[in-house]
Structures are given as structure tokens and as C-alpha cells.
Amino acid sequence: MGTLGRAIYTVGFWVRETGQALDRLGCRLQGNYYFQEQLSRHRTLMNIFDKAPVVDKDAFVAPGASVIGDVLVGRGSSIWYGCVLRGDVNSISVGSGTNIQDNSLVHVAKSNLSGKVLPTIIGDNVTVGHSAVLHGCTVEDEAFVGMGATLLDGVVVEKHAMVAAGALVRQNTRIPTGEVWGGNPAKFLRKLTDEEIAFISQSATNYSNLAQVHAAENAKPFDEIEFEKVLRKKFAKKDEEYDSMLGVVRELPPELILPNNVLPDKEPKAK
């Protein structure tokens, strides 16, 4: 960032601070009758000077997640609640159709014992389970990282490979295609079955569909949310036997019906 850019950044910071100062002054002038709202400084997307996240318009970044600095998120990918992707000293790349689930952490390496400068690269249609930690590693297309797993600097998870939940994968380890690794430290456990390889792709598709629902819910205005609350109360589900005794037929309004693609095994009821 040049001198002009830093100057504009500083002016913007002063303007924001001035707004908060005016709010505090107004509260003091109102005396004992004021209501003070605490301002959250959290930003879902945050730049570090000239390093700014680039998120595709069709990607979903949940409220409460933090995508910071030099981070690229591809089309149809989803970054879930509580995740932190911090691309400050290096870059993070997330491909298309990938899901990084709740409370996961993705960081990069500027220096380590090997003297390598390592970005974190996550390919297409990858599933990263809840509370996983990825640090300066590479996860290739259609790989699977289980819940609570930790991948250290220089790790490479090849296509159609799986890291079991809770595993600790040591530095510079390569997990070959079609294998499951688990444990602390992680070791080869067995080969993946064809069904498990198919599940990896299906998992990415399921989360992509689910992300669309969450994105739509988060985009709803306050009035629509309150209207749906009234509908849910009005159409609260009763026991089918109880309804039949009263001769009541309940049909949910379309606003309260989840899309079929969210629940792939869901079959529509015959009318």
C-alpha cells in the first residue's frame, strides 16, 4: 500500500472512531435515561492493509466467521459459523464447492523449522470437519478432513484421501490417494472403499445445498423473520391421530418447507 492508500485508510479509521465518540457523547447528554448499545467490532471480511479477502458472490460466509487478509474463496464454497481463515503472513486459497465447517481454523506459515514459506491451499469439493486446524498445508480436490483433525506445516492430503477425526498429521507428511490416516501421530489405517470415496463428493454437495439455505435465512429482513414466526406458531405440528379425530388437515405454507435438495433422502409425500 502506497502513501496515498495509507492516508485514506487512516482517514477512514478516524471517521469511524469519531462516530463512536459522538455516540458516547450523546449517551452522556441523555443522563440517566440513555440506552447504550455495545458496538461489536467484528467483521466477517477484514483486510490487512493491502491484503483483502476475495469471496465469490455464490460463496457463503456465515455471520460470526472471520475471513482475514489474503484469502480467496471460490464459487459455491461455504465458511461456517465460528471459522477463522487468517491470511496475514501468507495466502489462503479455497476452491469451489468446498465446505469448512464450524469453529475450524485455517492459517499459514511465514517461517518454520524447515525454512519454508507455506500458504494453505484447499482444493475443490473438499470437506473440512468441525474444529479442524489446517496450518500451511495442501488439501487436494475431493479430500476429506475429519472433525478435530490437525494438519501441520507442509502436509499434503491427496485427492480422495481421508484424515480421520482427531488425527494429528505431522509436518511434511503426504497422505496418498485412497487412504485413511488417523491417530496421534497419524498413520496409515486402511484403504478407502468405493462407497466412502463417493461419500466425500456427496458430502460436499450436501453442504453446498445447505449453505444456500443458510445464506437465504441470513439475508431475510426482520419483518419476514417475524412473519415466519407467526406462521410456525399457527401451523405447529400436532399428532396425526389427534388431528384425524378432529377432522383437521394441516398443510404447511411454502415459506416453512425446506427445499428437497437439503435432505437428499427426503421423498415427497403422496397426496
pLDDT for the residue 132: 97
Whose CA is closest to 87, among 46, 127, 59? 46
| pLDDT at residue 246, as a whole number | 57
pLDDT at 35: 62
Residue 120: strand pairing partners: 92
| Domain boundaries along the sequence of the chain | 45-196
Amino acid 94: pLDDT: 97
Residue 223, pLDDT score = 84
How many CA atoms within 13 Å lie on the side-chain side of 79? 32
* Integer Cα distance of 14 and 143 in angstroms: 45
R_g of the chain computed on alpha carbons: 24
Report the largest interatomic distance among the alpha carbons of the chain, rounded to a whole angstrom.
77
Query: Per-residue confidence of the chain (271 residues) as pLDDT tens digits?
Result: 578 888 888 888 889 889 888 888 887 887 776 665 666 677 899 998 789 999 999 999 999 999 999 999 999 999 999 999 999 989 999 999 999 999 999 999 877 666 677 899 999 999 999 999 999 999 999 999 999 999 999 999 999 999 999 999 999 999 999 999 999 999 999 999 999 999 999 999 999 999 999 998 888 888 888 887 877 776 666 666 656 665 656 666 665 566 666 555 544 444 4
Q: Which whole-number Å values give the CA distances from 224 to 219, 227, 230, in the listed order?
A: 10, 5, 10
pLDDT of residue 28: 80
Residue 4 CA to residue 66 CA, distance in Å, equals 27
Q: What integer pLDDT is reported at residue 271 of this predicted model?
A: 44
**CA 103 to each of CA 64, 90, 231, 260: distance values in angstroms, whole numbers, following the listed order:** 10, 21, 32, 27
Per-residue pLDDT, 197: 94
SS3 letters for 140-158? CCCCEECCCCEECCCCEEC
Query: What CATH fold (topology level) applies to the domain 45-196?
Result: UDP N-Acetylglucosamine Acyltransferase; domain 1 (2.160.10)
pLDDT at site 255: 57
